[in-house]
Amino acid sequence: MRFGAFVVALADSVYSESMRLPLSSIPPRWMATAAALGVAVAMSGCSTNEASLTMPVSGTFDYQLGGTYDSLPCSVGPSSSVDDPIDIVVRDAGAAPLTGAYSVCYVNGFQTQPDEATLWRDHDDLLLHDADGELVVDPDWPDEHILDPSTADRRSEILDIIGPVIDGCASSGFDAVEIDNLDTADRFPDIDRTGALDLAAEYVDRAHAQGLSIAQKNAAELAETAHSQLSFDFAVTEECVAFDECDRFTSVYGDCVLAIEYPDTLVEAGLDFADACTVPDRPPLMILRDRDLVAAGDPGYRFDTC
């Protein structure tokens, strides 16, 4: 379940650096906690961009695309008596960052968002069509169309729309962005792979220009290219244990990987989350979430951490 910020971007496409507080003016909680406890926070080069804040590689991580909340309920957090603070969080571009946490802004960079299909129809030439001229949809997300960055002109127009969303992440106070669906060229053969990677590089440049780190999302087969050639700073991976590909991320990004597992795919792989936590090459920051990523307190909410 993912939600977008396309309307906000079109209405507010001019980014003002003066609107954004310097990152140093409000230290994130993970820094304050380390100072208070006299504990060194592990920070091992999760950014290739000197202007951005380095992602911490320890603390409590949460993935909140289906609903936001500011702390983990005591029933699921490390503490059994009080709600626990969240140190690293991913939220949709239309949500606010979490004060005191390293906040990552979700951006769907290669497909449309479910609630934005009608808006993108005004840009029909930027969407992938099949041989009959019909719009192609993601079979796993049938309300999402596929962006087609196969030509320089299309990439420029796509960036005119998605770029302001990235800018909005910065102006809202996020520390980083996560770009989803980098692998569309592998899933849809009519998309030019070079064009898709060129668009990804433009997203990286746009994020870095705004002082944001940027995460590769999934697409394990592209990890080496994404990091060494395109300069993605860290990775966000779903189901790397279930699909036996965690090492493809950690071998490239080290501990700079945010990992999410889901109960259904673990069961399909013959595993439970306790098994996942014993995988030698799993990222340190790995959590279990419910498939719909609902907010704490909603029916079906699941959260666990190793």
- CATH assignment at residue 198: 3.20.20.70
**What is the domain count for the chain?**
1
Residue 27 has pLDDT above 50, yes or no: no
pLDDT of residue 142: 86
Confidence of residue 45 (pLDDT cuts 50, 70, 90): low
Tokens for 197, please give them: 């990677």
Residue-wise pLDDT for 163-173, tens only, equals 999 999 999 99
Residues 284 and 43: beta-carbon distance below 8 Å: no
- As a whole number of angstroms, the distance between CA 187 and CA 105 comes to 24
Is residue 63 included in any domain, yes or no? Answer: yes
- Pick from 114, 209, 124, 112: nearest CA to 166: 209
Mean pLDDT of 14-41: 33
Is residue 194 included in any domain, yes or no? Answer: yes
pLDDT of residue 240: 98
Is residue 32 included in any domain, yes or no? Answer: no
Residue 123 has pLDDT above 60, yes or no: yes
| Residue 42: other Cβ atoms inside 10 A | 14
pLDDT of residue 13: 40
- Which segment of 20-24, 142-146, 149-153, 286-290 scores lowest on mean pLDDT? 20-24
Residues 130 and 148: beta-carbon distance below 8 Å: no
pLDDT of residue 77: 57
Which residues pair with residue 285 across a beta bridge? 258
Where in the sequence is the domain holding 121, given as residue range(s)? 59-305
pLDDT of residue 78: 59
Percent of the chain exceeding pLDDT 70 equals 80
Is residue 27 included in any domain, yes or no? Answer: no
Residues 283 and 249: beta-carbon distance below 8 Å: yes
pLDDT of residue 50: 65
pLDDT of residue 281: 94
- As a whole number of angstroms, the distance between CA 20 and CA 174 comes to 10
pLDDT of residue 115: 83
pTM reported for the whole predicted model: 0.83
Residue 55 has pLDDT above 60, yes or no: yes
Residue-wise pLDDT for 262-302, tens only, equals 999 999 999 999 999 999 999 999 999 999 999 999 999 99
Mean pLDDT of 245-258: 97
Residue 34 has pLDDT above 50, yes or no: no
Residue-wise pLDDT for 65-109, tens only, equals 999 999 998 767 555 445 789 999 999 999 999 999 999 999 999
Is residue 131 included in any domain, yes or no? Answer: yes
Residue-wise pLDDT for 204-248, tens only, equals 999 999 999 999 999 999 999 999 999 999 999 999 999 999 999
Is residue 1 included in any domain, yes or no? Answer: no
Is residue 88 included in any domain, yes or no? Answer: yes
Q: How far is CA 267 from CA 218, 241, 242, 273, 287, in A?
A: 20, 11, 8, 9, 15
Residue 192 has pLDDT above 50, yes or no: yes
The chain-wide mean pLDDT, for the chain, equals 85
Confidence of residue 138 (pLDDT cuts 50, 70, 90): very high
Is residue 282 included in any domain, yes or no? Answer: yes
